[in-house]
Structure 1
Amino acid sequence: MINIKQIETFYWTLKLGTLQRAATRLFITQSAATKRLQELEKQACLPLFEPGSHKVQLSPKGAELLEASEGLIASLARLDALRGAAHQVQRAVRMGLTELVTITWFTDFVARTKAELPDISLHPDVDLSARLQRKLLDGDLDLVVIPQDYVTAAMASIPLQSITFTWLAPPRLFPEGTTLSLKQLALWPIIVQGPDSGITQRCEQLFAQEGIEFNHVYGSNSLFALLALIRAGVGISCLPRGLFVDEIERGEFQEVTLEVPPAAVNYHLAFLKHGRTALIDTLADLARQSTQGDARR
């Protein structure tokens, strides 16, 4: 008789693209996943995949089963969300975050989640935006908080907050009241994070749009390390203003005024389109509450 575990393995193998990704999501070995698919195909009495397709092309029977599976998986997700806390097994949620999110509103979000969803265990993964994007698409994460620029067609997303960025330089580098063009700014070393960073991508796009070459200085993937490099006089960098507003007001850094100020960065909570559940919507609502209470935007 066909069982839920077999259906889940079949469904996630098709949705994530490989048996290994499905096994990782279901917390089983690849051999166990293979066994489940073999048993499912035996119970179906007809091949679920076209011969020689390496389990990529579904047979008519497989396509029919996938359509039925989608409704079943969605129903199971709704039931799981409604299950009583007294007998619910703790569920792990793999959540990808940038450093900026981690050091601003994530602490409040964890507290809200523990209060509202005591059966949820958050497993954070702090990384650069492009890497978080790849991990989500590979099925290694359930949801990520990333700039909107990194949301692809395979994802659905929910807007969370808009972050204001500013250019910071060592104190008194420019006369007070100076306004620079982008070309003038490019005369100075520009400190960026690694190539997978949203900040780096934004800087490269900004100068490329104007056809201006600039001197990259790959400093660090840490925002606070970038701040230390600015303080040391290595160069200028574009950073979240709200995170360092106290240092700016104390005169530890000079805020550089450009003719065209940097655009705000919109952060979204993103997940695979087929992975939306009532739990995702609840977590998104809690995240919005946390971002609204964060003054460092």
Structure 2
Amino acid sequence: MINLKQIEAFYWTLKLGTLQRAATQLFLTQSAVTKRLQELEKQACLPLFEGSGPKAHLSAKGAELLEACEGLIDSLARLDGLRGASRHTLRTVRMGLTELVTVTWFSDFAARVKAVHPEVALHPDVDLSASLQRKLLDGDLDLVVIPQDYVTPAMAAIDLQSVEFTWLAPASLALHARSLSLKELAQWPIIVQGTHSGITQRCEQLFARAGIEFNRVYGSNSLFALVALIRAGVGVSCLPRGLFGDEIRRGELQEMRLDTPPEPVNYQLAFLKHGHLGLTASLAELASQCAAAHTNR
């Protein structure tokens, strides 16, 4: 008879892409996962895979079984959520965050989760958007808050907030209160984060579409370090407007008006399809409330 351990091995191997990732997810050795897959195929009485090695793919029987497994895993996650809510069993939720989320509404979110779900322990992981995307796909995180651009077809996502960006320059820079073209903007050094940063990639795409070369200065992965470099006169940068509103009002930084202003960035709460936690909907609602409250301040 097919058992749950075999189903989990089959499901996570296909969802995460490799035996090693499935083994890590299930706290097993790779050989143990392989054995369970072999046992499952024997119980199914028909081959679940066609071909061998890296070129192996699901057979028709395998695809049918995967669909059934997805429904079962989803149901088990919901049951586990109900069990946790009734018994207050400690549950760990590995949540990936960008720096922007961490320094704005995450503290409110953590407090709300503690009040509504005392059985949940949040384990935050602060990183760049591309790294968070990879960690979620690899099964190292349960939830991530990332820009919509980084959400893949393997993920389900819920809208959280739209963040306005603006170009910031040192107060000493003579801008003459006029709107600048992208070519004029490129006259100054453009301070960016690392290559895996959403801000960096947006800047790259913006100038590439216009066919304009620009002088990159890789400052730091920290938004606040980038602002310090702007103040020091190193260059200009595109940053979240709301995060540095006080500095703009005090005259420590100045906004640069462009003919084409930066587009807002939509942030979403993302998780793997069919692999989500039973309490995902509740956490998503709390995150949405906290993000909206911060935006409306």
Query: Is the TM-score greater than 0.5?
Result: yes
Corresponding residue SS for 2:58: coil
Moved more, 92-101 or 276-285: 276-285
* CA displacement at 1:197 relative to structure 2: 0.6
1:164-175 mapped onto 2 (5 Å cutoff): 164-175=164-175
Give the AA of the match of 2:247.
E
Return the alpha-carbon distance in structure 2 between the equivalents of residues 175 and 155 of structure 1. Answer: 43
Task: Decide whether aligned partners of structure 1 residues 77 and 211 sit closer, same or farther in structure 2, where only a CA change above 3 A counts.
Answer: same
Match of 1:280 in 2: 280
Return the alpha-carbon distance in structure 1 between the equivalents of residues 56 and 112 of structure 2. Answer: 41
Return the alpha-carbon distance in structure 2 between the equivalents of residues 246 and 282 of structure 1. Answer: 33
Match of 1:92 in 2: 92
Note the alpha carbon deviations across 1:124-152, whole angstroms, 9 max, x for none.
Answer: 21111111112222222222111111122
> Which residues of structure 1 form unaligned runs of 5+?
none
Task: Decide whether aligned partners of structure 1 residues 104 and 208 sit closer, same or farther in structure 2, where only a CA change above 3 A counts.
Answer: same
* CA displacement at 1:97 relative to structure 2: 1.0
Corresponding residue SS for 1:275: coil
| Paired residues of 1:223 and 1:239 also in contact (CA < 8 A) | yes
TM-score by length of 2: 0.91
Return the alpha-carbon distance in structure 1 between the equivalents of residues 197 and 53 of structure 2. Answer: 37
Moved more, 13-22 or 49-58: 49-58
Task: Decide whether aligned partners of structure 1 residues 258 and 57 sit closer, same or farther in structure 2, where only a CA change above 3 A counts.
Answer: closer
Return the alpha-carbon distance in structure 1 between the equivalents of residues 286 and 197 of structure 2. Answer: 26
* CA displacement at 1:180 relative to structure 2: 1.5
Return the alpha-carbon distance in structure 1 between the equivalents of residues 145 and 185 of structure 2. Answer: 30
Return the alpha-carbon distance in structure 1 between the equivalents of residues 62 and 175 of structure 2. Answer: 70
Corresponding residue SS for 1:20: helix
Return the alpha-carbon distance in structure 1 between the equivalents of residues 49 and 88 of structure 2. Answer: 35
Number of residue pairs matched by the alignment: 297
Moved more, 137-146 or 31-40: 31-40
TM-score by length of 1: 0.91
Give the AA of the match of 1:118.
P
Return the alpha-carbon distance in structure 2 between the equivalents of residues 173 and 296 of structure 1. Answer: 31
Task: Decide whether aligned partners of structure 1 residues 76 and 131 sit closer, same or farther in structure 2, where only a CA change above 3 A counts.
Answer: same
Match of 2:83 in 1: 83
* CA displacement at 1:70 relative to structure 2: 2.1
Return the alpha-carbon distance in structure 2 between the equivalents of residues 134 and 218 of structure 1. Answer: 22
Task: Decide whether aligned partners of structure 1 residues 155 and 84 sit closer, same or farther in structure 2, where only a CA change above 3 A counts.
Answer: closer
1:122-141 mapped onto 2 (5 Å cutoff): 122-141=122-141
| Paired residues of 1:242 and 1:296 also in contact (CA < 8 A) | no
Task: Decide whether aligned partners of structure 1 residues 115 and 29 sit closer, same or farther in structure 2, where only a CA change above 3 A counts.
Answer: farther
Return the alpha-carbon distance in structure 2 between the equivalents of residues 2 and 106 of structure 1. Answer: 42
* CA displacement at 1:238 relative to structure 2: 0.8
Return the alpha-carbon distance in structure 1 between the equivalents of residues 264 and 115 of structure 2. Answer: 32
Corresponding residue SS for 2:191: strand
Match of 2:240 in 1: 240
Give the AA of the match of 2:173.
L
Give the AA of the match of 2:220.
S
Task: Decide whether aligned partners of structure 1 residues 273 and 242 sit closer, same or farther in structure 2, where only a CA change above 3 A counts.
Answer: same
Corresponding residue SS for 1:258: coil
Task: Decide whether aligned partners of structure 1 residues 2 and 104 sit closer, same or farther in structure 2, where only a CA change above 3 A counts.
Answer: same
Corresponding residue SS for 2:87: coil
Task: Decide whether aligned partners of structure 1 residues 127 and 55 sit closer, same or farther in structure 2, where only a CA change above 3 A counts.
Answer: same
| Paired residues of 2:102 and 2:126 also in contact (CA < 8 A) | yes
| Paired residues of 2:80 and 2:278 also in contact (CA < 8 A) | no
Corresponding residue SS for 2:107: helix
* CA displacement at 1:45 relative to structure 2: 5.0
Corresponding residue SS for 1:179: coil
* CA displacement at 1:43 relative to structure 2: 4.2
* CA displacement at 1:46 relative to structure 2: 5.0
* CA displacement at 1:287 relative to structure 2: 0.5
Corresponding residue SS for 2:32: helix
Task: Decide whether aligned partners of structure 1 residues 88 and 58 sit closer, same or farther in structure 2, where only a CA change above 3 A counts.
Answer: farther
Match of 1:178 in 2: 178
Return the alpha-carbon distance in structure 2 between the equivalents of residues 2 and 237 of structure 1. Answer: 57
Note the alpha carbon deviations across 1:111-135, whole angstroms, 9 max, x for none.
Answer: 1111122222222211111111122
Corresponding residue SS for 1:293: helix
| Paired residues of 1:49 and 1:55 also in contact (CA < 8 A) | no
Match of 1:197 in 2: 197
Return the alpha-carbon distance in structure 2 between the equivalents of residues 54 and 255 of structure 1. Answer: 52
> Which residues of structure 2 form unaligned runs of 5+?
none
| Paired residues of 2:84 and 2:91 also in contact (CA < 8 A) | no
Moved more, 145-154 or 184-193: 145-154
What CA RMSD, in Å, does the superposition of the two structures yield over aligned residues? 2.2
Note the alpha carbon deviations across 1:42-86, whole angstroms, 9 max, x for none.
Answer: 444554434635694334554443233222112111211222535
Return the alpha-carbon distance in structure 2 between the equivalents of residues 160 and 46 of structure 1. Answer: 45
Give the AA of the match of 2:103.
I
Give the AA of the match of 1:285.
E
| Paired residues of 1:243 and 1:296 also in contact (CA < 8 A) | no
Give the AA of the match of 2:8.
E
